[in-house]
């Protein structure tokens, strides 16, 4: 009988040992839903917006490292890098790609027609082919539209309040971007109604920026800067060159003004990235991007940099300062 009990114990022990790996595997945490975060710029240029997204997700119960994982990637203003990262996200089988900037969204869409894509900001998503319509996007892409072109006239009106004698305007934009071409055309049309002469130097690479300023010397009185990954990534250089050339600058978002630009009027990117968190939440709960309407911006900010104004010798009207959402000093 003792031998029998011993054999039974060994058999039981062997069975338990065989079961241990199964039990260990069962206790391993399940893979967290994963977001592939891909934006056009760098941590310094886009980190503030990434934080806004993460904050909103946490408010909705998606805690990074606990209930969700986030893979951060930065395209550094390069379309080719954006395509490489999008392909990497497909290999990683992320659950949703969060991105912004039309060329980066296009790169993501070209990489996958299956993984949901949420863009926090894109210019004219219908006109650039990202979605079929704003109400019913179709496909695997949805997000928030910038409506940049609709704001060109308002921006020029504000610039003329600060520079009432403005006659000659330069537009600095990435000539390679189809999205910026829409805004450039709108600015040129609106400038014509205001009787402004317009110059648009050819900029396609970072190396083209300094020569563009050389070409503008003595020819213009202000600079309208069109948002784009190339421009966003090089905004400090652009503002430094503009200040050296004593050119007041007009931008589409606050970050350029914080980096030394004169003024901006446009959509709050912080607000857009927060709202993108709500769309990601819907996708992670099973909604299809095809059925989630593209949303429009609702918050627009007027920001002015008084330090830059003083350096340029400009006096900003008190009534203008009172209307500003933020005055940087």
Give Cα 64 to chain centroid, integer Å.
20
Once rounded to an integer, what is the mean pLDDT over residues 100-116? 95
> 209-216 and 235-244 are packed helices; what angle lies between their axes, rounded to 10 degrees?
20
Give Cα 214 to chain centroid, integer Å.
29
Q: What is the pLDDT of residues 93-106, one digit of tens each?
A: 999 999 998 889 99
* Residue 211 in tokens: 């020569």
Distance between CA atoms of residues 294 and 292, nearest Å: 7
The band of 148, judged by pLDDT with boundaries at 50, 70 and 90, is: low
The band of 149, judged by pLDDT with boundaries at 50, 70 and 90, is: low
Mean pLDDT over the full length of the chain: 90
* Residue 323 in tokens: 């209307």
Three-class secondary structure of residue 46 per DSSP: helix
Neighbours of 49 (CB within 10 A): 23
Three-class secondary structure of residue 182 per DSSP: helix
What distance, in Å, lies between the first and last C-alpha atoms of the chain? Answer: 91
Interstrand relation of 222-225 and 141-145 (parallel, antiparallel or unpaired): unpaired
Distance between CA atoms of residues 276 and 208, nearest Å: 33
Interstrand relation of 300-305 and 249-251 (parallel, antiparallel or unpaired): unpaired
Q: Report all structural domains of the chain as residue ranges with CATH numbers, in order of start.
A: 34-146+269-298 (3.40.50.2300), 149-267+301-328 (3.40.50.2300)
Q: What is the pLDDT of residues 209-265, one digit of tens each?
A: 999 999 999 999 999 999 888 898 899 999 999 999 999 999 998 889 999 999 999
Once rounded to an integer, what is the mean pLDDT over residues 301-313? 97
């Amino acid at each position: 009988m003792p031998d029998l009990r011993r054999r039974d114990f060994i058999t039981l022990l062997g069975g338990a040992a065989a079961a241990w790996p199964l039990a260990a595997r069962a206790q391993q945490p399940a893979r967290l839903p994963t977001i592939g975060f891909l934006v056009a710029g760098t941590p310094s240029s886009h980190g503030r917006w990434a934080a806004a997204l993460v904050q909103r997700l946490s408010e909705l119960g998606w805690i990074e490292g606990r209930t969700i994982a986030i893979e951060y990637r930065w395209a550094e203003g390069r379309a080719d890098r954006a395509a490489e990262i999008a392909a990497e996200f497909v290999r990683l089988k992320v659950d949703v790609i969060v991105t912004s900037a039309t060329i980066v969204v296009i790169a993501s869409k070209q990489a996958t027609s299956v993984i949901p894509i949420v863009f926090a900001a894109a210019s004219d998503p219908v006109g650039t082919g990202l979605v079929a319509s704003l109400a019913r996007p179709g496909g695997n892409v949805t997000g928030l539209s910038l409506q940049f072109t609709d704001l060109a006239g308002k921006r020029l009106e504000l610039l003329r309040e600060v520079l009432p004698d403005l006659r000659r305007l330069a537009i600095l934009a990435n000539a390679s971007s189809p999205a910026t071409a829409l805004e450039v055309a709108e600015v040129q049309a609106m400038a014509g109604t205001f009787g402004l002469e317009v110059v648009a130097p050819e900029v396609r690479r970072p190396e083209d920026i300094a020569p563009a300023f050389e070409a503008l010397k003595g020819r213009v009185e202000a600079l309208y800067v069109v948002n784009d990954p190339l421009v966003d990534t090089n905004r400090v250089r652009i503002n430094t060159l503009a200040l050296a050339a004593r050119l007041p600058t007009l931008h589409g978002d606050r970050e350029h003004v914080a980096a030394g630009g004169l003024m901006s009027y446009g959509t709050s990117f912080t607000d857009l990235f927060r709202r993108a968190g709500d769309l990601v939440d819907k996708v992670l709960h099973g909604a299809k991007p095809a059925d989630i309407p593209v949303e429009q911006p609702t918050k627009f900010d007027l920001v002015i940099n008084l330090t830059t104004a003083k350096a340029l010798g400009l006096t900003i009207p008190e009534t203008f300062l009172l209307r500003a959402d933020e005055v940087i000093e």
